[in-house]
Structure 1
Amino acid sequence: MTPQRKLFLGARLKRLRRDRGLNQSQMADQLGISGSYLNHLERNQRPVTAGILLRLAEAFDVDVKAFASESADSTGAGQLTEVFSDPILADLGVSRHELLELADNAPGVAEGIARLYTALRELQRQPADAGTGGADPRVLITPETWVRDYIQAQRNHLPELEEGAETLGGALSHPLSLAEPLRQRLKEAWGVEVRVVDPEFLEDASQHFDQQRRILMISSLLRPENRQFAIAYQLALLEFAPIIARMLESARPPDPGSRRLLHMSFANYAASAILMPYGKFLRAAEEHRYAIDRLCSQFGSNVEQIAHRLTTLGRSGAKGVPFFMLRVDPAGNISKRYAGESFPFSHFGGTCPRWHLHTAFQTPGQTIRQLIETPDAQRFFTISRTIERPIRPDLRDDALLAIGLGCDVKHAHRIAYADGLDLTNTPATPVGPACAICPRLQCPYRATAPAGRILAVEENRKTISPYPFVPS
């Protein structure tokens, strides 16, 4: 929250009120203010004061920082900046101040712009002769994109699933492994038998639930921690079916594919919460100072499962370090992108080649730490390391992926990997978002020309950066 900037949060106040099923008079009573004052706040005719934020926290258990931050909405000024940096819009010269006002005052419009831009990018990826066949243009927003954005709008924390999963996970605790208690719960509560079968039996699946025979079949190619997760996933589908159904109705996915993928994402989240119950996991994370291998040993989970769980610790009054996480393959394709708070990279493009996430493939199994700094002078502490794919049907295929985990540098003292690093004086590596929108002038790693900028290329002079441009 920037002290110099007045907070006009009318759209967020109105959405909070409607989410709680209140009219203006009822909400005003709970906040101890007049209905006319609340009306002024919702219409952005008055700024939200610190006192009002504190009353919101007390009356509605609102996270003040999250509520007042620029990224509180699913589409913020940073994401809109990417959209308006595209060559088809860059000549408009829309300022960040205008984009910030749009994100604050008309979040629905901002979300609509982001969806249209996403659809345009997906259309550009289609073969030239494919067309849409007159289909609903929403199909151009892929299910993966829609689900990712929806989960991110919840700040990657789903309290509806946490409480039940924490109770169930606590009841199934076991000193050696959760796999056996999970199996017993499936058998005794739901009449489901678990079998490990040859991969040829499942063809292209890693697990399959035969509803008729009440048998969960798991591929023998899966490692023990992935088999355990497979059982927890099936248990979550059964145990939390009513909760997940309500969450799906509330989310209103735009098409059947997005609905099914979101259903799986909810079940994956619940499975993780069963294996790593919130309170127990947060205490262990703080005790071991977020040392991933220690947490892997304690919870019988792999590096990726632990890293993903670390991004979900957003419970009001009991928060962990707000990590962001990416997973990439050797070609640089991003297959996972999660953030518990701020996220310093592009929403639509790839990542900066100067981030050591990409060099992790050169030192498999090692944890690489790095301080990075974004163009707006924000500093982040990050760690990167390789992981192995959960299943590899063909041994000739590359088994490695890489994950990057990071947080604002102000939290780094809580993390074991930062020990011995001078967080104040150590130079940070300058990074940026995707090259097409990165404002850094002298970057030898730039892969594409910046959108909407005038190139400063001269035939008699070669610069370090392959695409020099005229600064704004």
Structure 2
Amino acid sequence: MSEQKLFAGHAVRRIRRANGLTQAAMAEALDVSPSYLNLIERNQRPLTATLLLKLAERYDFDPRTLTGSTPGGGVEAIRRRLSDPMFADLTIERVQIEDWIAASPDAAEAFARAFDRLSGGSHGSSGESSAARGSTIEPEAIASARAEIERWRNHFADLDVAAEKLADELRLANADLYGAITERLRVKHQLSIRILPFDVMPGHLRKLDLHARQLQLSELLDPASRTFAAAFQLALIEAKAEIDALVAGASFAERAGERLYRRHLTSYFAAAVMMPYARFLRACEATGYDIVLLQRRFGAGFEQVAHRLTTLQRVGQRGLPFFMLRIDRAGQSSKRFAGASASPLVGTERRCPLWQVHNVFARPGSLLPHLVELEDGDRWFTLSRTVHPQTAVSGSVEAEFAICLGLDAKLASPLAAARGIDLNLAPATPIGLGCPACTRPECPQRSAPPAGRVLVFNERERGLSPFSFDME
């Protein structure tokens, strides 16, 4: 049987350097010649399945990271960058990008980093220039942390394995997860949990008092949030080695991005303790990914379940590839996880007003399904709902966000929320990636012309859109 082949020289070189090895030393460990390894690293020879297994066994890493760490995020990510209007006069085919990444991975990575730096770190996904994005540009720290999360497709295998083991131990100790975590913190780490009134710790939801050996939680937190806060503290202690290794491997240039990434990994572990991978995936498949049932079964909040759904990419045990967005009423995003979906709806900072995610604020608590179609013909099935973080008391400002989960419509038939919807033939709302990146000519909702297109004026006519433009 012929072996499946993979060109991943850039990743092999990264592994070798991370282990401080010369090509000769690694070649000897893998039982290949140094010249053959040199050709692999230069992408002139494929990495066979046999050699991939040897690498995984010898250097203890998740083989999926070889594809997850493709220069620039891979072909699709490079294509999204090249959709920027500054490249509108160039015709670059997919095969050219594939050849470029294979022949010059470092050059492709350099282009991606330079583009992301100049465009504010949004990875060229929106098809907008930095001038068009204006004040929506992400701070560098947030962009760098998000880039590292997406490099792993928001799936961290080592954290999931450790969290599952811990969750099993906690279940044996106490069927109530919060009670089990409380007891483990008290007995093993000499930390007690104390619920304090809002006026005793104003402005805080969680606080660790090392002098009193107390984890102090605000009474504002609901049961799911209290469990998460307790699991977060346990993650800080018991998952420190795994998290430190992931942070060290990211090699952040600045401290803020590293701290944001560390916080994400700690939250990831806490959620994985609440929703252990194998049990959670089985429940997803048995319930048709019914979010309400999953909330009840695992004692979690809507946003916690939604985020967990983006992480189900374990090798040999994959869930559906969801993406997730969290936006406010002004359309600003505070969370964006593409996972394994590769959806352009996540990459852009702008969103189409025809997308139902904006309408959920008028129907708080309702789950709104929506079938949408992008300009390239791709269909996406999305589910949106509002959430209210437990941060307000009577008379104060109450935060409200819209959570949107999305999935390629071709994969959405198992969803309980998609039952009765013909995902292939049912009418889908035509949307774009924000007006500056959208070229639909007759959209009555358009608020700006497409970037890089010439405006056309005819005083004797008025179309559906307030802007007419050259389609070429």
TM-score by length of 1: 0.83
The more displaced of 338-347 and 404-413 is: 338-347
Equivalence for 2:197 = 198
**TM-fit CA distance, 1:27:** 7.2
**AA matched with 1:152:** E
User: Structure 2 vs 1, CA of residues 203 and 169 (structure 1 numbering), >3 Å: closer, same or farther?
Assistant: same
**TM-fit CA distance, 1:197:** 0.9
**TM-fit CA distance, 1:365:** 1.8
**TM-fit CA distance, 1:42:** 4.1
Q: Conserved in 2, the CA contact under 8 Å of 1:115 and 1:141? A: no
Equivalence for 1:188 = 187
Equivalence for 2:166 = 168
User: Structure 2 vs 1, CA of residues 59 and 171 (structure 1 numbering), >3 Å: closer, same or farther?
Assistant: same
1:251-266 correspondence to structure 2 within 5 Å: 251-266=250-265
User: Structure 2 vs 1, CA of residues 124 and 385 (structure 1 numbering), >3 Å: closer, same or farther?
Assistant: closer
Q: Does 1:307 align with 2:344?
A: no
Equivalence for 1:95 = 92
* SS of the residue 1:183 aligns to: helix
Once residues 439 and 102 of structure 1 are traced to their aligned partners in structure 2, the CA distance between those partners, rounded to angstroms, is 28
Deviations 1:218-267 (A, max 9, x none): 11111111111111111110111222222222212222222222221111
Q: Which runs of 5+ in 1 are unaligned?
A: 1-5, 127-138
Q: Conserved in 1, the CA contact under 8 Å of 2:387 and 2:403? A: yes
The more displaced of 252-261 and 293-302 is: 252-261
Q: Conserved in 2, the CA contact under 8 Å of 1:82 and 1:437? A: no
Once residues 65 and 415 of structure 2 are traced to their aligned partners in structure 1, the CA distance between those partners, rounded to angstroms, is 22
1:239-278 correspondence to structure 2 within 5 Å: 239-278=238-277
User: Structure 2 vs 1, CA of residues 376 and 12 (structure 1 numbering), >3 Å: closer, same or farther?
Assistant: farther
The more displaced of 29-38 and 220-229 is: 29-38
Q: Conserved in 1, the CA contact under 8 Å of 2:325 and 2:404? A: yes
User: Structure 2 vs 1, CA of residues 300 and 27 (structure 1 numbering), >3 Å: closer, same or farther?
Assistant: same
Structure 1 vs Structure 2 CA RMSD: 3.4
The more displaced of 188-197 and 116-125 is: 116-125
Equivalence for 2:465 = 465
Deviations 1:416-435 (A, max 9, x none): 11111112221222222232
**TM-fit CA distance, 1:112:** 1.6
* SS of the residue 2:422 aligns to: coil
Once residues 66 and 250 of structure 2 are traced to their aligned partners in structure 1, the CA distance between those partners, rounded to angstroms, is 20
Once residues 113 and 378 of structure 1 are traced to their aligned partners in structure 2, the CA distance between those partners, rounded to angstroms, is 29
* SS of the residue 1:470 aligns to: coil
* SS of the residue 1:233 aligns to: helix
User: Structure 2 vs 1, CA of residues 393 and 57 (structure 1 numbering), >3 Å: closer, same or farther?
Assistant: farther
Q: Does 1:155 align with 2:183?
A: no
Equivalence for 2:233 = 234
Q: Conserved in 2, the CA contact under 8 Å of 1:74 and 1:153? A: no
Once residues 433 and 24 of structure 1 are traced to their aligned partners in structure 2, the CA distance between those partners, rounded to angstroms, is 45
User: Structure 2 vs 1, CA of residues 457 and 111 (structure 1 numbering), >3 Å: closer, same or farther?
Assistant: same
* SS of the residue 1:258 aligns to: helix
User: Structure 2 vs 1, CA of residues 335 and 276 (structure 1 numbering), >3 Å: closer, same or farther?
Assistant: same
Percent of aligned pairs sharing the same letter: 35
Q: Conserved in 1, the CA contact under 8 Å of 2:295 and 2:302? A: yes
Q: Which runs of 5+ in 2 are unaligned?
A: 122-129
Aligned positions, number? 449
User: Structure 2 vs 1, CA of residues 22 and 149 (structure 1 numbering), >3 Å: closer, same or farther?
Assistant: same
Q: Conserved in 2, the CA contact under 8 Å of 1:345 and 1:434? A: no
Once residues 26 and 317 of structure 1 are traced to their aligned partners in structure 2, the CA distance between those partners, rounded to angstroms, is 31
Equivalence for 1:326 = 325
Q: Conserved in 2, the CA contact under 8 Å of 1:196 and 1:219? A: yes
* SS of the residue 2:404 aligns to: strand
**TM-fit CA distance, 1:160:** 2.2
Once residues 239 and 419 of structure 1 are traced to their aligned partners in structure 2, the CA distance between those partners, rounded to angstroms, is 42
Once residues 42 and 74 of structure 2 are traced to their aligned partners in structure 1, the CA distance between those partners, rounded to angstroms, is 19
